[in-house]
Chains A and B, each alone.
Chain A
Amino acid sequence: MADVRILTGNEAAALGVKLCRPNVVAAYPITPQSQLAEILSRYVEGGEMRAEYVRVEGEHSALTVCISASTVGARTFTATSSNGLLYMHEQLHWAAGSRLPVVMCVVNRGVGAPWSIFNDQQDSLAQRDTGWIQLYCRDNQEIIDTIIQAYWIAESLYIPVMVCYDGFVLSHTMMPVDIPDAEEVRGFLPPYKAHTLLTPEAPRTINSVLFPWRRPNPEGVLCDGYMEMRYKLQAAMTRAHGVIQKANDDFAGVFGRDHGGLVWKYRCEDAELVFSGMGSIANEATVAADLLREEGIPAGVAGVRTYRPFPREEAAEALRSAKALVVLQKGLSYGYEGCLTSDLKAALYGTPLRIPVVDVVAGLGGRDVKAREIADAGRDAWKDLQAGKQGNRSLWLNCYTGEDHAG
């Protein structure tokens, strides 16, 4: 019988981590992630989880512990939010460059300054180019399921994975979560096998200085230079598309829940007005799509679950019938536009789809985003389309942007 419990996102994440049986957990508490770190330390203290919980003095060290432990063959986990993630930034590159399958939860929170403890996704969006896979969750069920898939993906590709979920709106909101059976998880997720095990029996140097050129070693092997090593990461990221989809499909086969792989679709088949977004805001958009459908506007949602690697083809496919695209996002590239808007526009380049794209920045620093507000933005885009306006637009949803702020 299904074991359904009413859980917060953080509780669901902690149970997901426990099911994956990591050997080492190192995390530094930060709002809104704290509850996750607390529960995991309790599991270890109470003997429910046979792992080493390493207490550290900050996030940079938390990830460094995971990197080191992963190098000697441990399955590792860490979690953080906001400025804690920014503090990890150097080591994010290090984990990806070393090809270590660390799994981390990012409980999304706005970054300072000014201080905010509330949700947006600027923290993880700002880590887009570190070489980590980024998966965004819609609800608490998806959090627990995605963590299990994340280990499968990370350890298949030797690429670290961030499982991102919205702070407070998911981390602190309770909803029903079906807990996967521990034995079934054991069957789905084989034990971690390191690509290179650092041991005293086989001494070696990992990540010594690489020169710009390739170089033969004494055994006659032509060792890669920095650029080849970086190319290998990019090639693995390209392979990741198939691996992420397979993790999703195999998981669905065992546990009966399909979260869409790279891009999930809601009423997209005949949708002419399509919303896109990541995480809970995209789920909110499904409610907005329902509202617009009631008014006769054929709306749908193409939710981006995998942000890196970016699902160019899957996104373009989901938008096949679209005549206008409204991109909702809780983070942007200052001086340009919402990060997801740029990526989706790029995905459409070279396809027959030439549709107006509305770039919507919303919900920064925890500002509530309501389905009716999303529907309003969609309705405006629809009216523009009916009026024959074809240009792209940008707007900040539910934000005072008067002339006196524009100077």
Chain B
Amino acid sequence: MDEKNVKRDLNVSALCVPAKGEAGRTGDWRDFRPVIDHKKCIPSSKNKAACFLCWLYCPEGVVKMSIPVEIDMDYCKGCGICAEECPPNAIRMVREGENDG
């Protein structure tokens, strides 16, 4: 590593700040990706700020609390917790390389 041109860690104690991509670009860890059916999704279909359980449960914080709901696929690890928790079953896990169907 080029020791001269890196920004140094000047912290006296070990610490980290919450930041997007703190653990690297995790989207490429994925085997299955979440696909949202916005006709079934409560906030998307009713155009109301309601439910958002996917946002609440996502361990990586990659779900955006928006209408329609969006998932940042650069960092989604494909764990499937959102699909498991979605009350109207609006999220399906689809194998990478296959079509959304």
Chain A residues packing against B (C-beta within 8 Å): 97-100, 158, 195-196, 202-208, 210, 214, 216-224, 226, 228-229, 232
Contact = CB atoms under 8 A, between A and B. Distances in A.
A222 B7 contact: yes
Contact of B14 (A158, A202, A207, A222): A207
B22 A218 contact: yes
A290 to B, nearest CB: 46
Given A203-B18, A204-B18, A219 B13 contact: no
Nearest to B3: A222
A229 B14 contact: yes
Given A217-B22, A219-B7, A203 B13 contact: no
Interface in B16-75: 16-22
A226 B11 CA distance: 13
A220 to B, nearest CB: 6
What secondary structure prevails in chain B residues at the interface with A?
Answer: loop
Contacts of B15: 196, 204-208
A178 to B, nearest CB: 35
Given A204-B18, A217-B19, A222 B8 contact: yes
B12 A196 contact: yes
Chain B interface size band reads 10 to 19
A102 to B, nearest CB: 13
B6 A204 contact: no
A407 to B, nearest CB: 50
A12 B51 CA distance: 62
Nearest to B22: A218
Given A99-B13, A220-B6, 15 more contacts: A158-B12, A196-B11, A204-B16, A207-B13, A207-B15, A216-B6, A218-B20, A218-B21, A218-B22, A220-B7, A222-B1, A222-B9, A223-B16, A228-B9, A229-B14
A205 B12 contact: no
Contacts of B17: 202-205, 217
B9 A221 contact: yes
Nearest to A206: B15
Contacts of B16: 204-205, 208, 217, 223
Nearest to B18: A203
B41 to A, nearest CB: 30
B10 to A, nearest CB: 8
B8 A221 contact: yes
16 contacts: A195-B11, A195-B12, A203-B17, A205-B15, A210-B14, A217-B17, A217-B22, A218-B19, A218-B22, A219-B7, A220-B7, A221-B8, A222-B1, A222-B7, A224-B11, A229-B14
Contacts of A207: 13-15
A53 to B, nearest CB: 26
Contacts of A220: 6-7
